A and B are shown apart, each in its own frame.
Chain A
Amino acid sequence: MIKSIEIKKTVIVISSMTITVFYYFSDPASFRFGLPCLFHATTGWDCWGCGGQRAFHQLLHGNFQEAFYLNALVFPVVPVLVYVVTSELFQQKTSPYKFFQKKPVQISSAMILVPFTILRNVME
């Protein structure tokens, strides 16, 4: 009998691979899916996540410069997502996200996100 933890791991691996393959072959710049960003739709400004999916597509194709211009946050966010997926695969006794919950990390993240969002709109 297959243990539920094995099912969980299988689902994580299949989902991660499916998403990666999907974003490799589907360019969000030409093929739009899902609802538009409400922040952008209401204000006309880019939020910190705008362009993230297009940037991920370019990153998968090795176009680092293009990915940087679309959304530079893709470079720190992708490693974080890889960490999340691997942490869920190899679950430990304690929360694997303690590092992110430390005050200096929280403050540093906010200090990157907020100026990044302001600057990307001001410099456009």
Chain B
Amino acid sequence: MAQIIDYVIISFAVSIIAVPIFGFGIFTSAMNDDESAGLFAGLALLPIMLFAFIGPVVYEVLMLSSPRQATVGKILMKIKVVDEQGARLTLGGAIGRTLIKYLSFNFCFLLWLWPLFNDKEQALHDIVVKDFLIRDQVI
């Protein structure tokens, strides 16, 4: 659920940045030279594409290694990520966790269900980085 909320937040941010595409589209369609129009559109799209791929990773890494130890979705769900000692994840740990998470979830989205079957409710990326999700209230 936390992941879905974060996905909505990131999608919204990407959408705002992608709005100028429409302006570029009108501008390039008015250009007579197809090659220049294509190059111009490509250059305009490149940073947006990069942001769409790197943005979610940067967002998650910064939020997890922050004092809140959670993304906005996790804060709303009242959970946070801790390492084996119960401390905040290091920047390296947060980067590793996030990259493994995106790789494994894009490998098969049903891996989202993995924590249900794990004794400590750890997903694959939690097992690799040796971190835990703790709830504010129980468990």
Say if A and B assemble together. yes
Interface residues of A (CB under 8 A from B): 4-5, 7-8, 11-12, 15, 19, 35, 37-39, 47-50, 52, 73, 77, 80, 84-85, 88, 91-95, 97, 100-101, 105-106, 109
- The bracket for how many chain B residues form the interface is 20 to 34
Whether the Cβ atoms of A39 and B108 lie closer than 8 Å is: yes
Contacts of B50 in A (CB 8 A): none
Could you list some 17 contacts between A and B, CB below 8 A?
A4-B136, A5-B78, A11-B5, A11-B77, A12-B1, A12-B77, A38-B107, A47-B107, A50-B108, A84-B116, A88-B1, A92-B138, A93-B138, A97-B115, A100-B116, A101-B116, A105-B117
Contacts of A7 in B (CB 8 A): 76
Q: Which 3 pairs from chain A and chain B are nearest by CB?
A: A49-B110, A47-B108, A100-B116
Whether the Cβ atoms of B116 and A48 lie closer than 8 Å is: no
Whether the Cβ atoms of B117 and A37 lie closer than 8 Å is: no
CA distance A116 to B35 in the complex (A): 49
- Additional pairs, 18, CB under 8 Å, beyond known A11-B77, A97-B115: A8-B76, A11-B76, A15-B5, A35-B106, A37-B109, A38-B106, A49-B109, A73-B110, A77-B110, A84-B116, A88-B1, A88-B77, A91-B137, A92-B138, A95-B121, A95-B138, A97-B116, A101-B118
Contacts of B113 in A (CB 8 A): 77, 80
Contact of B1 among A15, A35, A38, A77 (CB under 8 A): A15
Whether the Cβ atoms of B78 and A8 lie closer than 8 Å is: yes
Whether the Cβ atoms of A97 and B110 lie closer than 8 Å is: no
Contacts of A38 in B (CB 8 A): 103, 106-108
Interchain nearest-CB distance for B19 vs A (Å): 18
CA distance A105 to B116 in the complex (A): 11
CA distance A9 to B82 in the complex (A): 23
Within 8 A of A (CB), among B65-122: 76-78, 103, 106-111, 113, 115-119, 121
CA distance A49 to B106 in the complex (A): 11
Contacts of A84 in B (CB 8 A): 116
CA distance A50 to B136 in the complex (A): 34
Contact of B108 among A49, A100, A106 (CB under 8 A): A49
